[in-house]
């Protein structure tokens, strides 16, 4: 199994913090956010390589980080060659770019470079493997209908199959939302290129999951514990404060 960290965004909503530094390399309680993600991926024995896709602007930043960071799994930094918001490939575009460039023929665990989890990925991977070759999506219960408007609303049936997936709903009816955490089996990777050829948007990955769930079976796994989707400076500050507090109280890393 390969893992892919999506880190090719320009995070303009986080300016000036991300003007010259990619969001996944911003410090959280003293270390880059991406290192918390890598530590969770290291816990998954099946993963034999971690791929990080970024852009031309921040490629050297990630190379420098990689040069001084030690991981128990091999890490490869990939440049998608985009240079600005105007020519970026988008999350799904980057997934397809990496599949083609690396000639991937493995199951892939995908996670956004700004998603921080209190708990690990083991439960999700076990859930997804049990239901493969179907794809699985990481979910979270916000318990707040108003907050759902900023995310992808998801509804499940009794077998955890996604029966409704709506990107940024105007009138939410469920408090379950999709995280940017996906398991795609190797037998279904070809559906991504089919989606792109059909004219599907490559920006927000929720649009692909919505398209996919109407054609094949897609399952949803509800994560517990705290989750931080660092989309603005307010959430970034809260994550930084919470992680620092945890480290101080527990005397250990999150």
Our count of domains for the chain comes to 1
Full residue range of the structural domain in which residue 104 is found: 2-250
Q: Cis link prior to 21 (omega < 30° from 0)?
A: no
pLDDT score, position 251: 64
Per residue in 104-130, pLDDT (tens digit) is 999 999 999 999 988 889 999 999 999
Which structure tokens are listed for 7?
A: 């880190």
Per residue in 53-90, pLDDT (tens digit) is 999 999 999 999 999 999 999 999 999 999 998 899 99
* CA separation for the pair 196, 202 (Å, rounded): 7
Task: Please name the residues in contact with 28: beta carbons below 8 A apart, sequence gap of 6 or more.
Answer: 36, 116, 239, 240, 243
Question: How far is the CA of 241 from the CAs of 22, 81, 100, 112, 174, in angstroms?
Answer: 20, 34, 39, 21, 29
Per residue in 127-159, pLDDT (tens digit) is 999 999 999 999 999 999 999 998 999 999 999
pLDDT at 254 > cutoff 80 = no
* CA separation for the pair 18, 9 (Å, rounded): 10
Average pLDDT along the chain: 93
* CA separation for the pair 172, 186 (Å, rounded): 33
pLDDT score, position 244: 87
| Domain containing residue 15: CATH number | 3.90.550.10
CA angle at 41 for the pair 35 and 45, rounded to the nearest 5°: 145
pLDDT score, position 246: 77
Mean pLDDT along residues 3-20:
94
Residues counted in the chain: 254
The residue to which tokens 């997936």 are assigned: 165
pLDDT at 248 > cutoff 60 = yes
Question: How far is the CA of 186 from the CAs of 4, 108, 192, 199, in angstroms?
Answer: 14, 7, 11, 22
Per residue in 163-217, pLDDT (tens digit) is 999 988 999 999 999 999 999 999 999 999 999 999 999 988 999 999 999 999 9
* CA separation for the pair 179, 229 (Å, rounded): 8
- C-alpha Rg value of the chain to the nearest Å: 17
Strand 75-79, strand 49-54: pairing: parallel
pLDDT score, position 119: 81
Q: Are 63 and 77 in contact (CB under 8 A)?
A: yes
Percent of the chain with pLDDT over 70: 98
């Amino acid at each position: 199994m390969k893992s892919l960290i999506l880190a090719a965004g320009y995070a303009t909503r986080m300016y000036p913090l991300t003007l010259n530094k990619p969001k996944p390399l911003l410090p959280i309680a003293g270390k880059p956010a991406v290192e918390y993600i890598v530590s969770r991926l290291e816990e998954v024995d099946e993963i034999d390589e971690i791929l990080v896709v970024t852009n031309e602007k921040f490629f050297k930043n990630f190379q420098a980080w990689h040069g001084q960071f030690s991981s128990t799994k091999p890490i490869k930094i990939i440049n998608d060659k985009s240079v600005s918001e105007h020519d970026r490939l988008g999350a799904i575009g980057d997934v397809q770019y990496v599949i083609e460039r690396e000639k991937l023929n493995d199951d892939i665990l995908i996670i956004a470079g700004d998603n921080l989890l209190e708990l690990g990925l083991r439960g999700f991977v076990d859930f997804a493997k049990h239901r493969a070759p179907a794809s699985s999506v990481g979910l979270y219960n916000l318990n707040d209908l108003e907050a759902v408007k900023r995310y992808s609303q998801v509804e499940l049936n009794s077998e955890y199959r996604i029966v409704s997936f709506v990107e940024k709903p105007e009138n939410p009816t469920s408090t379950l939302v999709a995280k940017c955490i996906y398991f795609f089996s190797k037998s279904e990777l070809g559906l991504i290129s089919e989606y792109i050829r059909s004219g599907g948007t490559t920006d927000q990955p929720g649009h692909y999951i919505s398209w996919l769930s109407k054609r094949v079976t897609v399952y949803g796994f509800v994560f517990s514990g705290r989750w931080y989707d660092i989309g603005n400076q307010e959430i970034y500050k809260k994550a930084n404060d919470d992680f620092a507090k945890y480290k101080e109280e527990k005397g250990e890393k999150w």
